[in-house]
Amino acid sequence: MKKFLVVAGLLMSGIALAGDEEVVLVIENHQMKPSTIEIPADKKIKLIMTNKDNTPEEFESYDLAREKIVPANSTTDLYIGPLKPGIYKFHGELNPKTAHGEIIVK
């Protein structure tokens, strides 16, 4: 019972528990926002990607060895990490000149 109360108290306080790290990336007007994302090292991160455009986009990162299609007007998730400190570039495969950014891991 005590364990339940501690967990319930943590959830109600707004403290993120390990594994609950989330980052939102919005694709709009063929751009990815924010273009710079900072995350902690050695943690698994849920990247929530929302495409507000009427065309699909493909999240592509050679540095992360990840790619994922984000259909038009939809949301999809991609898990990344745990990562070592550094800078990891990403871009939109279908609009690489305007849809690009980096993930800074500290």
Break the chain into its structural domains and give their ranges: 18-105
pLDDT at 2 over 80: no
Give this prediction's pTM. 0.79
Percent of the chain with pLDDT over 70: 81
Specify whether the CB–CB gap between 92 and 57 falls below 8 A. Answer: yes
Residue 69: count other Cβ atoms within 10 Å of its Cβ. Answer: 15
The fold adopted by the segment(s) 18-105 is Immunoglobulin-like (2.60.40)
Is the Cα dihedral 5, 11, 15, 19 positive or negative? positive
What are the tens digits of pLDDT across the range 32-81?
A: 999 999 999 999 999 999 999 999 999 999 999 999 999 999 999 999 99
